[in-house]
Amino acid sequence: MDDTNITNAQRAKVLIQALPYIREYNGKIVVVKYGGNAMVNDELKRAVMGDIALLALIGVKVVLIHGGGPEITELMQKIGKKPEFAGGLRVTDRETAEIVQMVLAGKINKGLVSLINNMGGRAIGLSGMDCHLIEAKRYDERLGYVGEIVSVNAGPILDLLEKGYIPVISTVGCDREENVYNINADTAAARIAGTLKAESFISMTDTEGIKRDMNDPASLVSVVQVSEAQRLLREGVIQGGMIPKVECCIEAIRRGVKKVFIIDGRVPHSILIEVLTDEGMGTMFC
C-alpha cells in the first residue's frame, strides 16, 4: 500500500499492533545476519539500516553481522586475481586473506556504520580481530586461511550494547599467531548469537524461507521444529545454499538462542515486518 493512501486510523492501528512486540523485545538482544541482495541494492540497504536504527531507538539491543562475498570477488578481479571456490567456500591464500580484511573490516563495515549513524542510530564497527572477538583456526589446509571458529569473546559486544551502541561486526577472524581468517558470515552470526544467548537471530537471505517444494511459494513452512528441519535436510527437501543456512539456524537454537528466523531480505523492511507485526514472514525455528 502506498504511504499516501494510508489513513491516520491505519497508521494508529500499525503502531498499536507493534506495541506488544516493542514491549517484548525492549532490552533484549537481536542478532541480524545481513547479506544477499539487500547488500548490493542501495534502496534495500537503506531500508535495512533504517530498520536497525529504529529497533535500537525503541530499546532493542541490535547486533549486525555482515559478510561481503561479491565485493571481495570484485576487488580480486580488479587486481587480476582469480577467485577460487571449493565446496562453496572461498579458497583463501594469504593475499586473499588481506583482501578479505580490507573489504570486510574496512570498506563494507565502515560504510554500514556511517549509513546507520546518518539514519539516527549509534553504530560502532568491529571485526573479529578486535579483542580476539572471533578466534579461529584453519578449517581445512586445502582452503588456506578459511577459519573455523574456536571461541567468541562477547565482552566488547556486550559493553557496546550496554552503552546504547549498535555493534556492526565483520566476519574476519584471527589466531594467536596473528594470522587472519576468512569466516563464513552465517556461521559467525549463529555462533555469536548463541554466545550472547540472544532473544532472536534473524538471517537475511534471497529466499522466502524453507519451502517443502522449491517451486511452490504456497509450500512455505512458517514454523519448523529443529527435529523437523533435520528431517527435511536428510530427505533432501532443503537443498543447495539453504543447507548451510539451515544448519546455522539449528546450531543457534542449540546454543541457546530463543527464536531464529530466515527472512527474505529482498522485501523492504522485512526485519520490522518480522519483529513488530502479527503477520511476520519467512520461517521461524524453535
Average pLDDT over residues 99-113: 96
Judging by DSSP bridges, how do beta strands 283-285 and 259-264 pair with one another?
Answer: antiparallel
- Report the pLDDT value the prediction gives residue 235, as an integer from 0 to 100: 87
Judge whether residue 7 has pLDDT over 80. no
CB 284 within 8 A of CB 261: yes
Q: How far apart are CA 265 and CA 282, in angstroms?
A: 10
Judge whether residue 2 has pLDDT over 80. no
SS (H, E, C) 23-38: HHHCCCEEEEEECCHH
- Report the pLDDT value the prediction gives residue 238, as an integer from 0 to 100: 87
Question: Measured in Å, how far apart are the chain's first and last C-alpha atoms?
Answer: 32
- Report the pLDDT value the prediction gives residue 10, as an integer from 0 to 100: 73
Q: How confident is the model at residue 6 (pLDDT cuts 50, 70, 90)?
A: low
Judging by DSSP bridges, how do beta strands 123-127 and 61-66 pair with one another?
Answer: unpaired
- Report the pLDDT value the prediction gives residue 1, as an integer from 0 to 100: 44
- Report the pLDDT value the prediction gives residue 52, as an integer from 0 to 100: 97
Average pLDDT over residues 205-231: 86
Q: Other CB atoms closer than 10 Å to residue 217's CB: what's the count? A: 10
Average pLDDT, the chain: 91
- Report the pLDDT value the prediction gives residue 59, as an integer from 0 to 100: 96
Q: How confident is the model at residue 5 (pLDDT cuts 50, 70, 90)?
A: low
Delimit the domains of the chain by residue range: 26-79+97-129+155-173+183-285
**Who contacts 142 (Cβ-Cβ below 8 Å, separation ≥6)?**
86, 91
Judging by DSSP bridges, how do beta strands 166-170 and 61-66 pair with one another?
Answer: parallel
Judge whether residue 263 has pLDDT over 90. yes
DSSP at 279: S
Q: How would DSSP label each residue in 192-223?
A: HHHHHT-SEEEEEESSSS-BSSTT-GGGB-SE
Judge whether residue 8 has pLDDT over 80. no
Q: What are phi and psi of 263, to 5 degrees?
A: -125, 160
- Report the pLDDT value the prediction gives residue 216, as an integer from 0 to 100: 80
Grid-cell match 509450500, residue found: 219
Judge whether residue 106 has pLDDT over 50. yes
Beta strands in 111-251 (DSSP E): 123-127, 134-138, 147-152, 166-170, 172-174, 180-182, 200-205, 223-224
Q: What are phi and psi of 150, to 5 degrees?
A: -95, -45
User: Shortest CA distance to 186 belongs to which of 256, 249, 255?
Assistant: 249
Judge whether residue 285 has pLDDT over 70. yes
Quick one: CATH architecture of 26-79+97-129+155-173+183-285?
3-Layer(aba) Sandwich (3.40)
Q: Other CB atoms closer than 10 Å to residue 157's CB: what's the count? A: 24
Beta strands in 60-199 (DSSP E): 61-66, 85-86, 89-90, 123-127, 134-138, 147-152, 166-170, 172-174, 180-182
- Report the pLDDT value the prediction gives residue 212, as an integer from 0 to 100: 83
Judge whether residue 123 has pLDDT over 60. yes
